[in-house]
Amino acid sequence: MGSLKEKHEAQESGFFATRVDALVNWGRKNSLWPMPLGLSCCGIELMAMIGPKFDISRFGAEAARFSPRQCDLLIVAGTLTWKMAQACRTIYDQMPEPKWVIAMGVCSSTGGMYDSYAVVQGVDSILPVDVYVPGCPPRPDAVIDALLKLQKKIERESPLHRLLHEPGTPDERGTGSLLRQPNAAVVRNELDLHPHAPGARRTASER
């Protein structure tokens, strides 16, 4: 509550501050350098987006560096598995501030069609996500739309306020808790077991 009030005051009082914010945001949003984390099929559509027909460089996102230290936009394109989760989080942590995350495709948004033992049910279990793009895979146009939405989101930020008033806080945008309980399906009753497993039953009425 307190921080909201301060923010309101800052925005109300500072014409200069809002102009600086707008300038910084304009610079940031028009030069989002993506870090393509092409994990599976969405990675192919990501490559198509960087390719000549859809051409993400029109929006300033041309320099798709493969080193996280040089990027500010992490595009998680594809299915995240638990084996890969540590690497993904390390990549996110290595990116310098400010950074944003687009969860491209349903696999990274919610786990997609894979509700299995090895798949993270949404990359927002381990990272804060700014824009979710549904689709399997989403057309490159859809991801460009996500980029434009992210640009609008960046326009609403106030970097000067953050710099002056909250310099020490780590930036944990997006979901509040970083590790929801995905796959919390520990076997609760016999309906959860595989039909071939001993003791399993198929319907609630069977017993």
Partner 1 sequence: MTSAEQTAERVHAALANLAAGDGPAPRDGTLTLEVSRGSLHAVLERLKEQAGFETITMVTCVDHLGGRRSEPRFEVVHQLLSIEHRDRVRVKTRVASDDASVPTCTDLWPGASFMEREAYDMFGVTFEGHPNLARLLMPEEYGHHPLRKDFPHQGIEPDRLYKEWDRERRARAAREQAGGSVR
Partner 2 sequence: MTRTFEYSPDAEAAALHDDPVHGELMELNIGPQHPATHGVLRLKVDLDGETMRNVEPVVGYLHRGKEKTCESLGWAKFFPHTDRLDYVQPLMNNVGYALALERLAGIEVPRRGQEIRVLLMEISRIAAHLIYLGTTAIDLGAVTMFFNTFKEREKIYGILDAYTGHRMNNTYVRIGGVFADVDERVEGMLREFLESFRREIDGFEAVLTGNRIWYDRNKGVGTITRADALAWALTGPNLRGSGEPHDLRKAEPYSGYEDYEFEVPVGTVGDCYDRYLVRVEEMRQSVRIASQALDRLEDSRGLDVLVEDRRYVLPPKHKVHTSMEELIFQFKIVTDLCLPRGEAYHGIESSKGELGFYVVSDGSSTPVRCHIRAPGLYNVQAIPLLAEGRLLSDMVAIIGSLDFVMGEVDR
Binding residue count for partner 1, defined by CB under 8 A: 31
User: Which amino acid makes up residue 131?
Assistant: V
Q: Which of residues 160-179 bind partner 1 (CB under 8 A)?
A: 167-168, 170, 178-179
Residue 40 touches which of partner 2, partner 1, none (Cβ within 5-8 Å per kind): partner 2
Q: What are phi and psi of 71, to 5 degrees?
A: -120, 160
Exactly one of 117, 156, 205, 207 binds partner 1 (CB under 8 A); which one? 117
Could you tell me which stretch among 20-28, 35-43, 152-160, 175-183 binds partner 2 (CB under 8 A)? Answer: 35-43
Quote the least distance from Cβ 142 to partner 2, whole Å.
Answer: 11
Residue 186 touches which of partner 2, partner 1, none (Cβ within 5-8 Å per kind): partner 1
Exactly one of 198, 203, 206, 207 binds partner 1 (CB under 8 A); which one? 198
Are 37 and 88 in contact by the 8 Å Cβ rule? The answer is yes
Contacting positions for partner 1 (CB under 8 A): 82-83, 85-86, 89, 93, 115-118, 120, 125-126, 167-168, 170, 178-179, 182-183, 185-187, 192-198, 200
